[in-house]
Structure 1
Amino acid sequence: MKWIIKSISVVFHPIIMPLLAIHFYFTKSPRFSPEPFVYAKLVSITILSVVLPIMVYFLLKTLGKTETIHLKTTKERIIPLVVNCVIVSLIIYRVFPENQIAELHYFFVAVLLSNLTCLALALLKFKASIHLIATGGVFMFFVAFAIHFSININGSLALFAIITGAVATSRLYLEAHTPKELLAGLLIGIIPQLIVLKYWL
Structure 2
Amino acid sequence: MTSQLLKSISYIFHPLLMPLLGVIFYFSKTPRFIPDPVLKAKLFSVTILTVVLPMLLFYLLKTLRKVNSVHLETTDERKLPLLLNSLIIALVLIRVLPQNEIPELYFFFIGILISTITCFALAVVKFKASIHMIAATGFFMFAVALAIHFKININGTIALMCIILGAIATSRLHLKAHTPTELIIGFFVGLMPQMVLLNYWI
After TM superposition, the score normalised by the length of structure 1 is 0.99
* Distance in structure 1 (CA, Å) of the matches to 2:168 and 2:35: 34
**Cα separation, 2, equivalents of 1:155 and 1:75:** 39
Q: Which residue of 2 aligns with 1:22?
A: 23
Q: Aligned runs of 1:44-123 on 2, under 5 Å?
A: 44-123=45-124
How far apart, in 1, do the equivalents of 2:119 and 2:50 lie?
A: 17
**Deviation at residue 67 of structure 1 after TM alignment:** 1.1
Identify unmatched segments of 5+ residues in structure 2: none
What residue number does 1:184 align with?
185
Deviations 1:21-57 (A, max 9, x none): 1001001111111111111011001100000000011
- Could you tell me how far 1:189 is from its partner in structure 2? 0.1
1:131 deviation in Å? 0.2
Q: Classify the secondary structure of the residue corresponding to 1:175.
A: coil
| CA–CA separation in structure 1 for the residues paired with 2:93 and 2:167 | 30
The whole-number CA distance in structure 1 between the counterparts of 2:166 and 2:45 is 29
* Residue matched to 2:145: 144
How far apart, in 1, do the equivalents of 2:30 and 2:3 lie? 37
1:4-23 correspondence runs (5 A) = 4-23=5-24
Distance 1:49 1:165 in 2: 24
> C-alpha distance in 2, partners of 1:195/1:91?
21
Counterpart code for 1:55: L
For residues 136-158 of structure 1, the C-alpha deviation after alignment (integer angstroms, 9 at most, x for no partner) is: 10000011110011110111111
Aligned length: 201
* Identity among equivalent pairs (%): 56
TM-score when scaled to structure 2? 0.98
CA–CA separation in structure 1 for the residues paired with 2:120 and 2:163:
27
Q: For residue 16 of structure 2, what is the amino acid of its counterpart?
A: I
Provide the residue aligned with 2:43 in structure 1: 42
Aligned to 2:156: 155
Deviation at 1:92, TM superposition (A): 0.9
- When the two chains are superposed, the root-mean-square deviation of aligned CA atoms in Å is 0.6
What is the Cα deviation at residue 164 of structure 1?
Answer: 1.0
* Distance in 2, Cα, partners of 1:158 & 1:85: 30
Runs of 4+ with deviation above 6 angstroms: none
For the residue of structure 2 that corresponds to 1:43, the secondary structure is helix
Distance in 1 of aligned mates of 2:30 and 2:156: 15
Corresponding residue for 1:165?
166
Unaligned runs of 5+ in 1: none
Stretch of structure 1 that moved more, 27-36 or 17-26: 27-36
Single out whichever of 160-169 and 185-194 deviates more from structure 2.
Answer: 160-169
Deviation at 1:15, TM superposition (A): 0.2
Shift of 1:68: 1.0
Determine the C-alpha separation between the residues in 2 that align with 1:181 and 1:4: 22
Matched to 1:188, the amino acid is V
Residue 195 of structure 1, CA deviation: 1.3
